[in-house]
Each structure stands twice: as C-alpha cells, then as structure tokens.
Structure 1
C-alpha cells in the first residue's frame, strides 16, 4: 500500500504543470498544436506581463492564443506569426526580446554588471591584503636611531631615584 502511495506521489510530481489553454482552443492537428504551444510560451501576456500567454488565464491571453492558432491554421510560419504580433503589439509582446540595437543595453547590462561587480570585489580584496607602509608589525616595531635616543632619554629621566635607607 505504501508503495502505491509513493508511485502516485512520484507520478503527480512528474506531471507537467497545468496550462491555461482551454480544451476548445486546442487544434485538431497535433503538430500545429505543438507549434502553437511553443509560440505561446514565447509571448508575453499584456495583462500579467510576467507570464506567457500559455500560462495566463487572462481574457487577452486567450485572445492571443486564439490569434496564434488562427495564424498557424492560415499557413503562417512561426516567424510570420511572431512578426505579425510584434507589428500589432510591439516588441513588448515577446518574453525574450530580440538582440537588436534597441535592446543592446538590455542584453549587455547584466553581464557587464556581473563583471563590474567582480572587478570591484577583486580590487577591494587586494586593497585589504595589501599592507599599508606602517601597518606591518615587523616594520612598525622598529625605531629609528633618533627615536631610540629619545626613548633612552625619557627612560633615564623617569628612573626612580634610590633613597638611602
């Protein structure tokens, strides 16, 4: 009995996440449906903004899913469907923006920030390990000849005078 429960739990964990695609949206041709699902995962829900239209339950996402399926049924390629939606809704409809001159900063800023942070940490670490001129315990305990003479004079002046008993 325990084995059956474990198998059921493992099966439930292995099941794919439920998507928002409704049964009436699914295309009859499995190849076209797979293309539609693939495209739906690349398109942003304009309402949720951080979800794909494949995952969103918003009515606009449903409309976009139906539009994608309509364009696929009309014989459009994946690139044509994407281009149609970008022309209609702008680049923001893409979850992963294209690498272009307009999006160059968006693509390059994260790696540049990572490299810059690494350089700052490396520089900070080197500064900590690099000793300041007077910070070395060996060099800071050594006195110059002039300082030793002054110290001798001070110590001689401070000696307690012996009083006869």
Structure 2
C-alpha cells in the first residue's frame, strides 16, 4: 500500500515538473520575435523559422540550460532585436532620454526667445 502511494506521489510530482517546463517554454516562446513574420512571436507563428527555433529552445531546456543562457545564445546569434524585452544598455537609455532632453532644450529656447521679445 505504501508503494502505491509512493508511485502516485512520484507521478504527481513528475506532472508538476513537466507543467513547469511547458510554462517556461511558452514564456520564452512569447518573448522571442519571429524574424520571418514581422510583429509576431514564435509562440504565435507557424513559419519554418519559428518551428525550428521552438525545437532548438526545447532541446536546450532538455539539456539543462536556463532561460538566461538561451536568451544569451539567441542574442549572440540574431542580435538584440530578437527579444521583445531587450537588456538595458546605453543605447536604450539614450533612446528614452533623448525626447526629454529635446523637450528641455526646446522649452529653454522658447523661454529665452520670449524674454528677449519683452525687452
């Protein structure tokens, strides 16, 4: 009887591990951009590229690689554009700060020109 419960517990735990692995796969699939289908993730795409990339990601997960290692491999191979959530770097910082800087310079120029007209 104890062996029966032990087998059931092992079966339930293995199902939970498989389910967690599928969730991780789907999370990665949704964060990887399909190069063939503009604007779609490989999760949504049925292109040959997406199918091959899904197989590659599954194989890497089965070999014990983690999410970060998979992203690093894909970024090194296809560039930063392949992921929907790119890493934070100087280029992305400048992209976010540039409109603010332009707005501040424009406001300063308008204020300065307005003061010169009043004199």
The answer for the alignment partner of 1:51 in structure 2 is 40
Residues 108 and 125 (structure 1), Cα distance of their counterparts in 2 relative to 1, 3 Å cut: same
Q: Does 2:118 correspond to 1:132?
A: yes
Task: State how far apart, in whole Å, the 2-side matches of 1:70 and 1:51 are.
Answer: 22
Match of 1:91 among 74, 80, 86: 80
Report the TM-score, using the length of structure 1 for normalisation. 0.51
1:63 to 52, 65, 69: 52
| Residues 34-45 of structure 1 aligned to structure 2 (within 5 Å) | 34-45=23-34
Deviation at 1:74, TM superposition (A): 1.9
Once residues 122 and 52 of structure 1 are traced to their aligned partners in structure 2, the CA distance between those partners, rounded to angstroms, is: 43
1:119 pairs, out of 81, 101, 105, with 105
Shift of 1:128: 3.5
- In the alignment, the residues of structure 1 paired with residue 39 and residue 100 of structure 2 have an alpha-carbon distance, to the nearest angstrom, of 23
Q: CA deviation at 1:72?
A: 1.1
Aligned length: 103
1:60 Cα deviation from its structure 2 partner = 0.9
Question: What is the root-mean-square deviation of aligned Cα atoms in Å?
Answer: 2.6
Mapping 1:1-80, distance limit 5 Å: 29-80=18-69
The alpha carbon displacement at 1:35 in A equals: 0.6
More helix by share: 2
Structure of greater Rg: 1
